[in-house]
Chains A and B, each alone.
Chain A
C-alpha cells in the first residue's frame, strides 16, 4: 500500500477574475457600530506581477494591491479581505449516475450561472471548488448553514434520464452528455464510512441555494492603520530646516525636501492692564503663508 501524497504550499497564480475583495473602515478601535463591508473591484486594485524573463507569464505569488487614495486616504483602520470569488446558484437536482447508481452527486443548471462565470462549469473545471449551503427557509435568522461544506471532486455535463422504478414510480438519474446544460458534480464526502454504512453524508437538496467557491489561494486579511505621523515626520521637528519670522512671528517647519510641513504663530499673552507677559504661545496656523518658502528666504 502506498503511504499517500503530501501537502505543499505554492505561490498562488490565481486570475484576478477568481478573486473578490472587501474592505471595512473604522476611525478607531473603540467603534461600537457593526462592521460594514464594501466591495472593491479586483480588476482595478489587484495587479499580478509578471515574470521578468517572460512578461506574458504571471510571476506567481506576488501581487500589488493599489488602494485608491480617494477611498483609503483617511486616518483610521481599514480591514481588507481578499478571498476566492464566490458563485451563488441553486441546486437543480440531487441524483445518481445511470450507470453507477452508487455515485451520488448534485446537479447545477449552467443557464442559472452568470455568463462570465459559466466557463467554470465546463467538464472538470469545478474540481477542488468548495460548496457551502444556505438554509432552505431563508430569513429565519442565520441564512447560512454554518460549519458545513463539501468539496467538488468531478463535474461533467449530464443529461437527466427518467428511470422506471415500478409501481408507477419513476426517478431521474444522469448520464454524461456534453450537449446538456446540466452539470453533475460529485462531492466529497458523499459516501458512508465503513463503520456505519447507512450514514450517508448530506450533500444538499434540490432547489437549495449554495455558494460555490474556488480554492485557488488562501484568503488574506490586511489590517491597515493609516496614520499622520511616523518616525520620519517626527524627525522633521528635530532635524529638518526651520525658520522663525521675526516680523510676524510665523514659525515654519520644513520637511526634508524644504517644503512647508507645518506653520505656527508665535506670540505672547500679556496682562491687558499692566502689560506683564503671562504666556508664550505656539499656535498651529492652518492658512499657510507662502512667503515663508525656505529656498527663497535663504537665497541671498
Chain B
C-alpha cells in the first residue's frame, strides 16, 4: 500500500470574477450584485466549468464539463520474488527420440519431450587467442642467468597449492616458452590454461591512456570438456510452496568496492537494504559487514 499526502488550495478553484451581467442598480442608484443571478458564482466553486461571463463551458458533444480537481498518480505493480526452483524426478515421455530434430540447439530449443539427456551433450572444444606475457612472471624460478635474465625450469611447479595445482613451464627453447597455469596436478596435459610466449616476437599496442605498450607475443589455449554426463542431467524444475519467497540474491564476488563513508547519511541505510538473509551478513561485500 502506497501512501500519498497532498495539500490542495481550494482558492485555485474558487471563482473571483464578477460578470457585468450580474450587476444591477439598487433603489439608491448604486451598483450592486444580483446574488440571485444564476451566473453569479463569486467566492464559490462551481460544479461545472464556466467562463468569465458565468456561462457553462461545453465539450464537443455540447455537454457541460464537470469541474474537477486533478491529481496525477503513478500506480505500480510489485512483483515479488517467487522462490527457488527445486529439481524433482519425473517420468520421461515414452517412445524416446533417437535422433535430434534438424537444427536442434539445446540452449534455444529448451526442453524437448521424449529427448534423452544425451541430446544435450556437446562435444569437447578448445578456445584459443592472443594475450600479453604478464603470466610468464608467475612461472619463473628464483634463479637468473649470467645476463641477469630470469631462468625458466621445465616441470618446476610454482603454484601456491603444489599438491593439487600445477603452474609452471612445460618446455623451453630459444624461440618460445610453453607453460601451464592452474592445471590439475594429476592431469596436467588435459587441464589448465596453456600459454606459449615467443621470445623474439613482440606485440605493440596502446594502453588505456594512449601510451605505446609492447610485450612478448603470447598465445593461450584451453580445452573444454563440453556438456556431458558429468555436468548435465534432466529433472523437472518446480517451485515448492514451502519455499515461496525464499530466494538467493545474485552474489557478486568483487575485489573492489567503494565505501562512501559515514559522510553520506544514506550509506548505512543503503548497506542494510542489501541485507536480506543472515547469510548476506557474512558474504555481503566480502564480509565487510561486522556485528
Contacts and interface: CB of A to CB of B under 8 A. Distances in A.
Interface in B232-265: 237, 239-242, 244, 246-250
B10 A228 contact: yes
A9 B16 CA distance: 44
A73 to B, nearest CB: 4
B3 A223 contact: yes
Nearest to B66: A68
B84 A3 contact: yes
Contacts of B72: 62-65
B273 interface: no
The contact size tier of chain B is 35 or more
B76 A69 contact: no
Interface stretch (B42-50, B95-103, B167-175, B281-289): B42-50
Interface string A257-300: 10111000000000000000000000000011111010000000
A73 B8 CA distance: 10
B73 A219 contact: no
B17 interface: yes
Nearest to B75: A12
Contact of B80 (A7, A45, A191): A7
A70 B1 CA distance: 28
B149 interface: no
Nearest to A47: B70
Interface stretch (A119-127, A136-144, A229-237): A229-237
Given A10-B79, A11-B75, A2 B9 contact: no
Nearest to B5: A223
Given A4-B81, A9-B77, A221 B2 contact: yes
Interface in A50-81: 61-70, 72-73, 75
A70 B47 contact: yes
B146 to A, nearest CB: 57
B169 to A, nearest CB: 40
B247 A4 contact: yes
Contacts of B1: 218-221
A61 B69 contact: no
Interface string B28-55: 0011110000000011011100000000
Given A65-B72, A218-B77, A228-B9, 15 more contacts: A1-B87, A2-B85, A6-B249, A9-B76, A12-B77, A67-B69, A68-B67, A189-B244, A220-B4, A222-B71, A227-B9, A230-B7, A233-B9, A260-B42, A293-B18
| Nearest 4 CB-CB pairings of A with B | A259-B16, A66-B68, A4-B84, A12-B75
9 contacts: A6-B81, A11-B76, A11-B77, A14-B75, A67-B69, A69-B13, A220-B2, A228-B9, A261-B16
